[in-house]
Structure 1
């Protein structure tokens, strides 16, 4: 806990997130679990509190800039697709434990790690979907979530096909990219519109300014996704549908 320094406190305050000692303790316990299990479960190459807190935790908490614009958002259903070690949603869940959260992760090993996290941090109203996004998007979970969150999952044309089928009409997909992904945005406009999104919104985030800039890509869904999407496993990545 000594490693949670004043700089980290200031970063959270910059994001206008309320916190207490228990939440910080849970976040530190989560950090310890990642460090301890990273090699076994192939979670991340990052090491040490400074790197993990900056790159994984604070950059995950940046999503709250958009989620907190409407306080009722926290009563909605969230799913984190391709969550891996639980990024970006576990840090969000720690600070806002009331949210209803699903974690979609195809790797059984990573799901085992997530089960340990949920148990050790005593998290409730959270479940794990050990499934590929393509399968989940053709299951009863299709169009059942208010928000889909992702980070570093795929290029935008592929990402659109993996995520938009899961979100309700009126819901949103939110993902983050570092540098402004102009080419990916241009390539994804066609497929995202087919899947139910009117336009791609891009929001630049520079706070806290001690971290690299992120560009958040937001798709708001206005109509149902055609039944033939997503295509079968692996096809969205292997043969992405891109704008000409």
Structure 2
């Protein structure tokens, strides 16, 4: 067992997660495909193997430390980029049905190739803006868990993500630095979009000890019809204070 595999296995075991040989091979394939495709398009600035396993794979799986994945059925990953956190979660929790939304078609092409290379079923990759996809049939108010990792500030993320969440489902915003200011800033946005902060979990990534925070927001009602606003508006005019 090489050092990276040993470290990754031990860290997951501390969280009561154990990989089969097949799952380990899927992570190795993921790493190889990520590095290979990254030479043709910008997927990540992190390509060293241990760093990919810690800063991408382990970081993605950290969501399962605070959300009981065994109790969930459907996940949507908004602005997934190279597939984080949804693909690592799908590898470790194969019962999940995953929908990935990304606005860049090249990334969707990579993700479709990756899903095929890993032999994953029940993973759907959709090219489109979150504001538009949220209004498609079967997307609105539909998912047990919706997540976004380092995509935008929380008041913007709420409008991207909460429309996808079913009533009583969860929106998980994965953040680096302390999100206290973002939480204050997002108070109005969350009220408008029927979200209530359930908890804020904090931990440190192994080895480099960088800070991570996961904000869990419960959806307490159906998304009002006026949200999300048309594509581009949430970023240009975030919901702060009074509606715009």
Shorter-chain TM-score range: over 0.9
Say which SS state the counterpart of residue 84 (structure 2) adopts.
coil
2:148 maps to 1:150: yes
Pick from 206, 212, 216 the counterpart of residue 210 of structure 2: 212
Shift of 1:207: 6.5
Q: Within 1, Cα distance between the matches of 2:33 and 2:233?
A: 34
Q: Where in structure 2 are the equivalents of 1:3-152 lying within 5 Å?
A: 4-68=4-68, 71-73=70-72, 76-140=73-137, 141-152=139-150
Structure 2 residue aligned with 1:196, among 194, 197, 206? 194
1:209 positional shift: 6.7
For residues 55 and 199 of structure 1, the distance between their equivalents in structure 2, rounded to whole angstroms, comes to: 26
TM-score normalised by structure 2 residue count: 0.93
Q: CA-to-partner distance for each residue in 1:160-209, whole Å, 9 max, x for gaps?
A: 00000110101000021111111111000111111011335311124657
**Greater mean alpha carbon deviation, residues 48-57 or residues 207-216:** 207-216
Q: How far apart, CA to CA, are the structure 2 residues paired with 1:35 and 1:14?
A: 28
1:193/1:199 contact within 8 Å kept: no
Q: Once the two structures are superposed, what CA deviation does each residue of 1:111-164 show, in whole Å capped at 9, x if it has no partner? A: 110011011111001111111100012222111111101101110000000000
Q: Residues of 2 paired with 1:216 and 1:242: CA distance?
A: 22
Q: Which residue number in structure 2 is paired with residue 185 of structure 1?
A: 183
Distance 1:89 1:236 in 2: 23
With normalisation by structure 1, the TM-score equals 0.93
Gaps of 5+ in 1: none
SS of 2:39's partner is helix
Q: 2:204–2:210: 8 Å Cα contact kept in structure 1?
A: yes
CA distance in 1, matches of 2:132, 2:3: 41
Q: Give me the whole-angstrom Cα distance separating, in 2, the residues matched to 1:123 and 1:4.
A: 24
Partner SS for 1:4 = helix
Whether the aligned pair in 1 keeps the contact of 2:74 and 2:96 (CA below 8 Å) is yes
C-alpha contact (below 8 Å) 1:185/1:200 kept by paired residues: no
The alignment of Structure 1 onto Structure 2 pairs a total of residues equal to: 241
| Residue 163 of structure 1: aligned partner | 161
Is 13-22 or 107-116 further displaced after alignment?
13-22
For the aligned residues, what is the CA RMSD?
A: 1.7
Deviations 1:66-123 (A, max 9, x none): 232x6322xx111100011000111111111111101111111001100110111110
